[in-house]
Amino acid sequence: MSQFRSHISLPVAAGVLLVGLPYSISLAAQWLYGWPNKPGYKKYTEALRPRRIYCLARAVLESLKYLQYGRLYLRWKSWYNDIENCKHYEKGISFGRRGNQLDLYYSPKMESAKVPLIVFIYGGAWGSGERAIYCLLARQMAEELNATVICPDYSTYPKSNVLGMVQDIADCLIWAKESAKKFKFDHKNIILIGHSAGAHLCTLTTLFLIDTRQELFIEASKQEDITLSIKGVIGLSGVYNILDHYEYEQSRGIEYVSTMHKAMNGTHNFPYYSPSHVLNTFGEDKLKRVPPFVLLHGTDDIIVPVESSTKFSDLLCSLSLSVALYLLPKLDHTEMVTGIMTPDRPFYHCTYTCIKQEYSKLIKD
């Protein structure tokens, strides 16, 4: 009898592992994060499609690699508790119409009022993220680039949609213009750097300001003034065509659980929120005001494919706009930012070599 049980337990265990677990992951993901817009029972049967189950289970298993950043997590969690670091930053400065907060990291040359300003916008699929996670990155960026660095929070989904996020970043730039004297940086020399969704938001905010969009609810003269101060945009593993990225999400079976289409208020708004589409609507006068772009992307990125940056680079070139493209071998999506948080990270020096080379061209003497 015991032999029979041992023989039957192995197939049952294998069945649970290969069938029960993936089905459970798919159902839980669909239930927690969103259902397809289908009526009645169809929205439930969608979660049971074998292909979607396989794709969602694979995506969940891929996310387990984030466990390798445990030590880095402890380092940034303890960074603010070190009294020695207090001299390097100002924390929790309020700005903008929604009362968001930003952290400011001083340049090593903080006694000079001529250091450039870097505004770093983090990613998080338009639905997550917080500025505190990037304290190590912002501090190293201030050191490596001899600049003041600010890292603002913005209103992610479901608190706001993408337009609200763009408004928050524009508000941050207005704060920078008004606070330059107090914090001793050059408000006429601003570089935007963003990662993933943050790169998308940096790019979209810049283009909306150039287009003096009424939906920003900012005076046209202020928008024009801010535009003149933006000397370049550096995109790290960015999303620049929302429709293309949605199709990529579909190929991974995650489009329904992704925050993206919700933050865009539906698929019909994809062109409106796509930098590539906005650029194609610009006339010659507005194209002349588009700042230079620097695009970095890892060849091992499976979250945002490398084609996102290569296609956007091709578009910028076709419009005779300035762009530099760097494809970094063996670099994945997360390492693009974790890799520049501390000098002992494996991709730290090669990534900063690329950034520094182009950064020096962007800033004024």
pLDDT tier at 365, thresholds 50, 70, 90: very low
Greater pLDDT, 9 or 200: 200
pLDDT of residue 125: 95
Average pLDDT over residues 182-189: 93
Query: Comparing 30-44, 92-106, 238-252, 273-287, which segment has the lowest mean pLDDT?
Result: 30-44
| Claim to verify: residue 61 and residue 86 sit in the same structural domain | no
Residue 319 scores a pLDDT above 50: yes
Residue 39 lies in a domain: yes
| Claim to verify: residue 174 and residue 223 sit in the same structural domain | yes
What CATH number has the domain bearing residue 268? 3.40.50.1820
Average pLDDT over residues 343-358: 96
Total domain count for the chain?
A: 2
Instruction: Find the domain containing 107 and state its range.
Output: 80-362
CA atoms within a 13 Å half-sphere pointing along the CA-CB vector of 120: 29
Residue 71 lies in a domain: no
pLDDT of residue 4: 46
Tens of pLDDT, residue by residue over 13-24, are 655 555 566 666
pLDDT tier at 43, thresholds 50, 70, 90: low
**Predicted TM-score of the model (pTM):** 0.90
Tens of pLDDT, residue by residue over 284-304, are 999 999 999 999 999 999 999
